[in-house]
Each structure stands twice: as C-alpha cells, then as structure tokens.
Chain A
Amino acid sequence: MARVRHESRWYPLEPEESVLDGLLRQGVVVPHACRAGACQSCLMRAVSGDVPEAARAGLKDTLRAQGYFLACACRPAPGSELEVAGAEGLRLRARVVSLEPLSPSVLCVRLATDTPLDYRAGQYVSLVRGDGLARSYSLASLPREGVLELHVRLVPGGVMSGWLSREARVGDVLHVQGPAGNCFYVTGRPEQPLLLAGTGTGLAPLYGIARDALEAGHTGPVWLFHGARTPEGLYLGDALRALAGRHPAFHYRPCVLTGGSRDVAEGALAVLLRAECPRVAGYRAWLCGDSGLVLSLRKKLFLAGLSLKDLHADVFLPSAPRAEAAGAR
C-alpha cells in the first residue's frame, strides 16, 4: 500500500488508485476536471518521495523542476510514500471585469489578474473557483491586451458554465492556474500557409493564434475554419470578417451542417477544408475543440502529408465523474 502525506496527515491509497482519487475519497479538496492528464487542473507539488514519470508527461520543464505533477495520473509504487502540497503557488487572483454573451450559447468572460499572466495566445488556463471547482478554458486574448478573454460554451447542466452564466458577477474573484498547452504561433517561416480549424468554442484559441500570427507579420495565407451544427452555433463572425477585410492573407470560412447561406457554407468541416486547401503538405495547423473532430481531422491532415511537428491540437476533454462513479464502472 502506498501512502500520501498532505498538510501533515497521512492518507493510504488503494492498489492502483491515483493520488487524486485517494485524496478526494478521503475528503481532501483537490481541483480537478478531466481525470485524464489533459487539463492540468489537478497539478500538485511533490515535497518528498518519487513521482512516476507518467504523472509528469506533458509538463513544462520549469514545472517539473519544481516537483509539480498531475495528481490524476500519479499512481505511486506499492509501499512508497509521497508528501504532496497543493498548487496554490501557481495561481493568480483574477477579477471578473465583464460577462457578455457572444451568442445565445457562448459567454465571453474577461478577467483581470493582479500581476500579468505570462502566456502565448492560444494556450489554456484552469479557472479555479473559491470552492476548488476547476475547469480549463483557452485564451482568446493576446498578452498585450492585458485582460484575459475566455469563450465559455453553456453546457446543459454544466456546473462551471452554468455558474458563470447565471451567478457570477462583475467583480467576483477567481483564480487562474497555468498557462498550459502547445497550441500557439511561433515566429519563423512567415510565408508558410497556416490552417486553423475548430468547432464551437474551439474558436477561442484559434482567434488568439490567428491574430498573433497576423500581428507578428505572417505573410503566408492564414485559413480559419469554424464549424457548428447550425448557424446559431457560430459566433464572432463580424469580427472575423472585419479581420479578413484588413488582412488579405486571412481567410475566414464558417460552415454548418444545416442551414447554410450565402456567407456560411453547408456541409462537414473536413469536406470544406479539403475543397479550400487540397494540398496541405507543408502547412502548419492548429485544431481545437471537441475530441471527435480534432482527432479525426488530425489523422486526415497527417495522412494528407502534414508533418506531425507542424500539427498542434487541443482536445476540449469534458470533466469526468467523481471517484465513486468512476470506480463503479
């Protein structure tokens, strides 16, 4: 049996149990969401003891060096002992400065942090509420804009999105933890064609990345595909058309499965993408949003000749149920 020490108490772990599940089961509050190593909400710091390498996969070197690991992916060896602390040191206080609908189903949340968050446009943060509820959101803003901008889709029955849309008020204080993720623009090769594709609020990071690339003086074509089931699922269309008006190399292509019009193509995003960009070898691409689209598009683009090193993807993995429910499966 492995044991975990947290705030001067020892907690035994069941065989194969993660540090996250073990602590939650015994009443410790640890922020978490996906339970799959993807959202980085459950970061903790090892004070002493060995952390399995699997619990540090995908973490930045600076976080590793300070002993941080993902509690949901950490299954210590039987008999081992690990002393852990929370990730409060990584969080910034963030005040809500505005809450505005972008469409009937998407809320724009703007936050001001006490000290600037050091991030690249397109990365994501964990938004942590006072009671420890945590969810990841991608940044649609640019660092020079000061305030952080999030696009939150209203999920039916969603705890965080429901709270943000109904109860949160301007002035409320939350925390942001991060940034994380590799979806961002890097300067160099300014003539390379860029391809950005996403559905729903997958647009948030793409909006940041596209503007970042254009401001950095990217000269090659920048294609932005935004997909939704119906036209109501699209948002920010006017801003994106205005951006295209100012930058001839920027191409905005919205599409819907039903209800297309003169401005909005009708059909599957992958089909539209193939029609507009038939030869993607040599492109750089970013794919964000629900897992189904992101994973299938990534495979299609790779098979069509796009190199893995030029393919960046963020899957908006939903939160996974609590330990009891997960254990019962």
Chain B
Amino acid sequence: MSTSAVEKSVYEQIGGEPAMAAAVEVFYRRVLEDGRISHFFEDVDMERQAARQKAFLTMVTGGPANYSGRDMRAGHAHLVRQGLNDTHFDAVAGHLKATLEELGVPAALVARVLSIAESARADVLNR
C-alpha cells in the first residue's frame, strides 16, 4: 500500500459526504440496538445525534474534521463520568468495523479506519 502524500483519505475513497450519510444510518441503528452502549446514544433529537455520529465517522475516516485530542477529551469527559470504559470503546469500534464492511469498504481501508479510531482511545477515555 502506498503512503505517498497525495494518497486520498479513506473518506474520499469510500465516496465522501454522500457515503457518510448512508454510513451514519447503518452505524446509528447498530449502536441503538446494542444494549451495552445504547444509553450513551439515546437522544430525543435524533437529527442532532445523527449529526454527531457523522462528525465521528468523518473524523475516523480522515475526512474534513477539526477535532484536537483536547476536544476529544472534553467532548467525552461527561461520558467517562457516566462510566465510559474500554468495553464500550471496543463495542463502538466493532460497530464501526461492521458498518464499513456492510457498506462494502475493502478490508485494507477498514483496517486503516480502525487504527485511526484506536489512536483516539486514550483521549476519548480521558486517560
């Protein structure tokens, strides 16, 4: 696999913004159906929740997102206080993988997305 600077992000390779819209629905259904983590994602405003998940998916696929490690800490601190831990993180990573696979993303790209997600673990869990 090439690592040249001109290489497209996974975000672009899987189809950019329109592909994200489809991915959000698949991912959102999966987390809502997973009793281990659904309580983190219950929101009377489903549009707002979908917009956040789009931000999440855009970020881990290397799309146009501007979140620093500090943003990730602050954005999940209240969830850590509610008990967010490695188990939950692994569940989300699992749904991320399954979502991309369901959408037919090639295994090599899925692996790259998962490594980007993994690199955010310490910040998300506020360690």
Seen from chain A, the residues whose Cβ lies within 8 Å of a Cβ on chain B are: 291, 295, 298-299, 302-303, 307-308, 311
* Pair B46/A302 contact, Cβ less than 8 Å: yes
For B, the interface residue count at a CB cutoff of 8 angstroms equals 9
In the bound complex, residues from chain B placing their C-beta under 8 Å from that of A291 are 44
- CB nearest neighbor in B for A299: B32
Verify if B17 is at the interface (C-beta below 8 Å from A): no
Verify if B33 is at the interface (C-beta below 8 Å from A): yes
- CB nearest neighbor in A for B49: A308
A285 vs chain B, min Cβ distance (A): 13
- CB nearest neighbor in B for A295: B44
Partner of B29, one of A295, A302, A311: A302
In the bound complex, residues from chain B placing their C-beta under 8 Å from that of A311 are 46
- CB nearest neighbor in B for A304: B29
Offer 16 A-B interface pairs, CB within 8 angstroms, sorted by A.
Answer: A291-B44, A299-B32, A302-B25, A302-B28, A302-B29, A302-B32, A302-B46, A303-B29, A303-B32, A303-B33, A307-B25, A308-B25, A308-B28, A308-B47, A308-B50, A311-B46
* Pair A308/B46 contact, Cβ less than 8 Å: yes
* Pair B46/A298 contact, Cβ less than 8 Å: yes
In the bound complex, residues from chain A placing their C-beta under 8 Å from that of B29 are 302-303
Main secondary structure of the interface of B (DSSP, over half): helix
Other A-B pairs, 16, CB within 8 Å; known A298-B46, A303-B29: A291-B44, A295-B44, A299-B32, A299-B46, A302-B25, A302-B28, A302-B29, A302-B32, A302-B46, A303-B32, A303-B33, A307-B25, A308-B28, A308-B46, A308-B47, A308-B50
Distance in angstroms between the alpha carbons of A203 and B48 in the assembled complex: 26
Distance in angstroms between the alpha carbons of A157 and B93 in the assembled complex: 51
- CB nearest neighbor in A for B32: A303
Per-residue CB contact flags for chain B residues 16-58 toward chain A (1 = under 8 Å, else 0) read: 0000000001001100110000000000101100100000000
- CB nearest neighbor in B for A303: B29
Distance in angstroms between the alpha carbons of A74 and B113 in the assembled complex: 39
Distance in angstroms between the alpha carbons of A61 and B46 in the assembled complex: 21
In the bound complex, residues from chain A placing their C-beta under 8 Å from that of B25 are 302, 307-308
A120 vs chain B, min Cβ distance (A): 19
In the bound complex, residues from chain A placing their C-beta under 8 Å from that of B46 are 298-299, 302, 308, 311
- CB nearest neighbor in B for A309: B21
Distance in angstroms between the alpha carbons of A307 and B28 in the assembled complex: 11
Distance in angstroms between the alpha carbons of A32 and B26 in the assembled complex: 38
A181 vs chain B, min Cβ distance (A): 14
In the bound complex, residues from chain A placing their C-beta under 8 Å from that of B50 are 308
In the bound complex, residues from chain A placing their C-beta under 8 Å from that of B33 are 303
